[in-house]
């Protein structure tokens, strides 16, 4: 997790302070969390953050993020307080540092879905409690953590896995790029020349060198031999005035049957949603047998619950991994 202003506090603003081992640990704990949810629905609830409260700030509309966090907090035994960012006046009615300090007096963590990335950095800098990035204009780490976990869960994650993002170099693409600096895989972004990702994140990921980051402008070139075809809406929140222009710019960057035919025969299709069928993806592909879109959407719940336990009950998180390692050693000794 990101290093925060106090040694005891952990934040999740992105992947920059994680290593490959810590990410795989999160994936394994997410598998455990998913199993525990099934047991909980059968009458054996797992509530490692019992009594904890989480303030959730939403400056942007949300379906998956809001439902998955609110439900996840409840299932883990905590309580969520939903705050509309406009109503509380982030950086207008009240300074970010005052909001961070106040919420720290009331709550155990903050989950924030904001516009400017600098605001969530300010929240984390001034809060005495963990802060989770639920989306900013720069990045969407919870989404990409869930996406990568989905591939891991299905046994599709490999060092040579080729993940092709077709569309805009937006916050979702940025987080894939950031992850490629930590985990070994081949990431290709196929985007128009004037819709590039954040240059700083690309430079940093390439310098770290764990994976490969490639940027091309021909989606068919990018898709050849892909293991994963991934897309997002062409017009993100706050860009509505650009819709007509973007429809024209991105019209050749659609995931459809023709593009999918260029990928590996076993390729899967992913989309962070919401989806605009007939624009960035066809209904045929989205509903087709190679789509795992609903699986990745569901996994937002399990991965975010894993992050919350790591942040709010690190002893429980460590206990799981100690037990997990001992079980693996015992299994190896038997064989």
Residue 116 neighbours by CB under 8 Å, 6+ apart:
136, 137
Q: Is 143 known to be catalytic?
A: yes
Which residue out of 10, 37, 113, 186 is catalytically annotated? 113
Helices 293-312 and 20-41 sit at what angle, rounded to 10 degrees?
Answer: 100
Rg from Cα positions in the chain: 20
Buried b (16+ CB within 10 A) or exposed e, 46-71: bebbeebbbbbbbbbebebbbebbbe
Neighbours of 174 (CB within 10 A): 26
Under 8 Å between Cβ of 232 and 260 = no
Q: Is 300 known to be catalytic?
A: yes
Which residue out of 37, 186, 300, 302 is catalytically annotated? 300
Q: Is 140 known to be catalytic?
A: yes
Which residue out of 227, 232, 246, 302 is catalytically annotated? 232
User: How big is the chain, counted in residues?
Assistant: 335
Residue 111: strand pairing partners: 56, 132
Which residue out of 11, 64, 143, 186 is catalytically annotated? 143
Which residue out of 137, 272, 302, 304 is catalytically annotated? 272
Residue 44, classed as helix, strand or coil, is coil
Q: Is 142 known to be catalytic?
A: no
Which residue out of 10, 64, 117, 140 is catalytically annotated? 140
Q: Catalytic positions, please?
A: 113, 140, 143, 232, 272, 300
């Amino acid at each position: 997790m990101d290093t925060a202003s106090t040694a005891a506090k952990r934040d999740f603003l992105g992947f920059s302070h994680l290593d490959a081992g810590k990410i795989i640990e999160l994936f394994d704990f997410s598998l455990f969390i998913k199993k525990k949810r099934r047991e909980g629905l059968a009458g054996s609830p797992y509530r490692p953050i019992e009594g904890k409260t989480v303030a959730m700030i939403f400056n942007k509309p949300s379906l998956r993020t809001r439902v998955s966090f609110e439900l996840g907090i409840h299932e883990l035994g905590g309580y969520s307080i939903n705050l509309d960012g406009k109503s509380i006046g982030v950086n207008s009615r009240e300074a970010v540092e005052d909001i961070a300090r106040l919420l720290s007096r009331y709550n155990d963590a903050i989950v924030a879905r904001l516009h400017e990335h600098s605001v969530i950095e300010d929240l984390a800098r001034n809060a005495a409690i963990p802060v989770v990035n639920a989306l900013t204009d720069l990045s969407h780490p919870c989404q990409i953590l869930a996406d990568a976990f989905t591939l891991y869960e299905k046994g599709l994650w490999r060092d040579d896995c080729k993940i092709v993002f077709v569309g805009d170099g937006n916050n979702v693409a940025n987080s894939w790029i950031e992850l490629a600096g930590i985990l070994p895989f081949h990431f290709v972004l196929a985007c128009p020349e004037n819709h590039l990702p954040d240059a700083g994140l690309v430079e940093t990921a390439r310098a770290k060198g764990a994976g490969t980051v490639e940027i091309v402008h021909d989606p068919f070139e990018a898709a050849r031999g892909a293991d994963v075809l991934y897309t997002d809406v062409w017009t993100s929140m706050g860009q509505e005035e650009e819709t007509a222009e973007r429809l024209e710019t991105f019209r050749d960057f659609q995931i459809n049957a023709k593009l999918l035919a260029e990928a590996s025969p076993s390729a899967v299709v992913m989309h962070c949603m919401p989806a605009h069928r007939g624009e960035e993806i066809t209904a045929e592909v989205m509903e087709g047998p190679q789509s795992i879109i609903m699986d990745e959407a569901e996994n937002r719940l399990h991965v975010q619950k894993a992050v919350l336990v790591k942040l709010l009950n690190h002893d429980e998180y460590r206990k799981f991994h100690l037990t997990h390692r001992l079980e693996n050693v015992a299994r190896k000794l038997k064989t």
